[in-house]
Amino acid sequence: MLDEKNVVQLDLVYVSIAKARILERRGVMGAPDLVVEIISPTSLRRDRYDKRELYARFGVKEFWLADVVNRSIEILSLQKG
């Protein structure tokens, strides 16, 4: 849950000890350090473009796109906010 209006279901997430305060019983309440999305043909546009912009806006430091079909991982790092 990035905020009350932006709730996403993550494939894989990492939260550092420094940000452990965002971990609650009901889930991750804020921007995690790392998000990994596994791309499927039905989620390509949402994962590659919509979530990329959303995670950048909320300050997710690193975003990985795992493309199983092409056997690749694209690593995106947020620079200067």
Q: pLDDT by residue (tens digit) across 50-68? A: 999 999 999 999 999 999 8
CB neighbours of residue 47 within 10 Å: 19
Percent of the chain clearing pLDDT 90 (strictly above): 67
CA dihedral of residues 53, 68, 64, 14 (deg, nearest 10): 120
The average pLDDT across 66-78 equals: 93
Residues 6+ apart with CB under 8 A from 47: 37, 39, 65
CB 39 within 8 A of CB 47: yes
Higher-confidence residue of 81 and 45: namely 45
Task: Kindly report the pTM of this predicted structure.
Answer: 0.85
Rounded CA gap, 40 and 29, in Å?
26
